[in-house]
Amino acid sequence: MNLVSPARDGSPGTPLHSKRILVVDDSLTMRQIIRRMLEGAGYLVVEARNGVEARQRFQEQSFDLLTLDVDMPGKNGFEVCSDLRLEEARLERPLTPVIFITSHDTLIDRQRGFDVGAADFIAKPPQEAEFLARVNRLLRAEQRLSGLHVMVVEDSRATRNIISHMLRECGLKVTEAENGLKALEILKVSGKDLDLVITDYDMPELDGKELCKRIRTVFGLPWLPVIFLSGMSEMSYVLDMFEAGATDYLTKPFTREELVARISVHIEFRQLSQQHTRQIQELERLNKLKDGLLAIASHDLRAPLNGIMGYSNLMLMDEDLPEHYRDMAEGIRDSGTCLLEMIEDILNLARLQARQDEIELSRCDLAQIADEAVRVLSHMAAPKGILVAHPRGEHPGPVWVNGHRNSLLRIINNLTSNAIKFTEPGGMVKVLCQVQPDGAVTLVVADTGIGIPPDKVKSLFERFSGSGRTGTAGEQSTGLGMSIVKELATLHGAEIRVESKVGEGTQFILRFPAMALQA
């Protein structure tokens, strides 16, 4: 079995800048592009314009990797690769990984490339991130494999020893099994500790095909990568392997580099799958924790808060209460009110996210909803002497939008109550609903209040951004109201923006998409 054993120049810990790459391409532009990518990643680059120059460079020094253009005048990339393999044999060097770079990536060309020893194919022009990832995978594969556990199942002792030697040199922990039955015994004890299985296809008593089936069914390990080794490349045998549950296969003889590259790909995929599984489990845990906190917020926190506010109101009803105690009772009541509002906002955000897919939009009269909101909130504005108006203009008819009525009412309530909170006594708040020439509808809530500092505007719609401020009459703010408005606007496909000047006022503008019919 012609397995090429290790000992390339440079150990797994060798710095990247000592890795030499030969770039063979007849295009100066393409060579420069590839050189820039590789040198930017810390590799040493040598260029060759054709097969003749590549052979000369090859005779002068060894390389850790080659990139080969397929379409070149004279000898093409496949022929150049064959010549370099002969040169490696003459110089008694280990095989150098080859990445073919081509404008015509076909199955036929890939098969031809792998027949002459290709490690990978890249389409022209190479995308830097993908190209460097492929190069790093080949040159740094051994570092990623260190500490992982592989079982090698092979009835030929000599072959098993060679493969195990290769893998151990890459830092892998190797368990050997001389046949399928021995492999089953190992799986019973430590199957869940294995990261990959390499098995011969043709073995006495229990062959690789039956072993793979039992790994998938009896041991319940559908995720465990299984790579077959076989001297048979006929399509019928290949199909048998994959029907049994194979992840990949290698045809004997194969090279050390090819084996390491294949293992790296499958173990990397396995590690990504494990990482995603852990992330999903963590998200599920956090979601359960969130549900628990919301349950506490909706009942266990609100009940004592209502008690605190109730007792503070009873204290304030006592006409003989000393003034400094009255101030304290008002502080207790106002703080409790703010905390209760915060709990309600958090619950509303949670409900909103939970039912995002359930909200059904229908034809709504935005102007009528605005009338309702203004009528209710005028009572809130009265103690501060603030006028809340909804001027209907010359066309007081309906303003239709595609929306969810209660959600639209919540948007207007949040924006208007926020405007009242930050407007000085005697000021004004306007709510305007207008149909634009293109059929879109705008909702504007404008005030003559204190305005928003520029550094606060950027984070205004972010949850828990700390943008909440105290109102002009000392009203507390949770800072969550605007994030709720943003969420609801997004559900309606509406754009939202804010214009504000400190000391002059603020206006929020929402633009809703046009409906097919505007009444």
Comparing 302 with 150, which gets the higher pLDDT?
150
What are the distances in angstroms from CA 334 to CA 278, 312, 326, 338?
A: 44, 9, 12, 6
- Cα 239 from Cα 13, distance rounded (Å): 39
Q: Are 487 and 495 in contact (CB under 8 A)?
A: no
pLDDT in tens, 97-134: 899 998 877 777 877 887 887 888 888 888 888 888 88
Question: What's the pLDDT at 325?
Answer: 87
- Cα 214 from Cα 442, distance rounded (Å): 65
- The token pair at 181 is 């039955």
- What's the rounded mean pLDDT across residues 214-232? 89
E-assigned strand segments in 154-193 = 173-177
Q: What are the respective helix, strand and coil percentages of the chain, to the nearest 5?
A: 50, 20, 35
Instruction: Indicate whether 24 pLDDT > 60.
Output: yes
Q: Could you give all domains of the chain from N- to C-terminal order, each with its CATH number?
A: 16-139 (3.40.50.2300), 143-254 (3.40.50.2300), 277-354 (1.20.58), 362-512 (3.30.565.10)
- Cα 497 from Cα 44, distance rounded (Å): 52
Q: In terms of DSSP H, where are the helices of 355-453?
A: 366-381, 405-421
Instruction: Indicate whether 465 pLDDT > 60.
Output: no
- The token pair at 185 is 């015994």
Question: What's the pLDDT at 88?
Answer: 86
The pTM score is 0.41
Q: Mean pLDDT check: name the lowest of 79-83, 151-155, 336-340, 465-469.
A: 465-469
pLDDT in tens, 257-299: 778 878 888 877 777 777 788 888 888 887 777 666 666 666 6
Comparing 128 with 464, which gets the higher pLDDT?
128
pLDDT band, very low/low/confident/very high, at 476 (cuts 50, 70, 90): low
DSSP secondary structure, 315-330, as one string:
HHT-TT--HHHHHHHH
Question: What's the pLDDT at 516?
Answer: 59
* Tokens 């984070």, residue located: 459
Question: What's the pLDDT at 198?
Answer: 94
Question: What's the pLDDT at 338?
Answer: 64
- What's the rounded mean pLDDT across residues 385-411? 85
- What's the rounded mean pLDDT across residues 358-378? 86
Establish whether the linkage from the previous residue to 253 is cis, with ω within 30° of 0: yes
Average pLDDT, the chain: 82
What are the distances in angstroms from CA 426 to CA 452, 466, 475, 508?
A: 19, 28, 16, 20
Instruction: Indicate whether 315 pLDDT > 50.
Output: yes
Task: Identify the three-state secondary structure at position 169.
Answer: helix
pLDDT band, very low/low/confident/very high, at 1 (cuts 50, 70, 90): very low
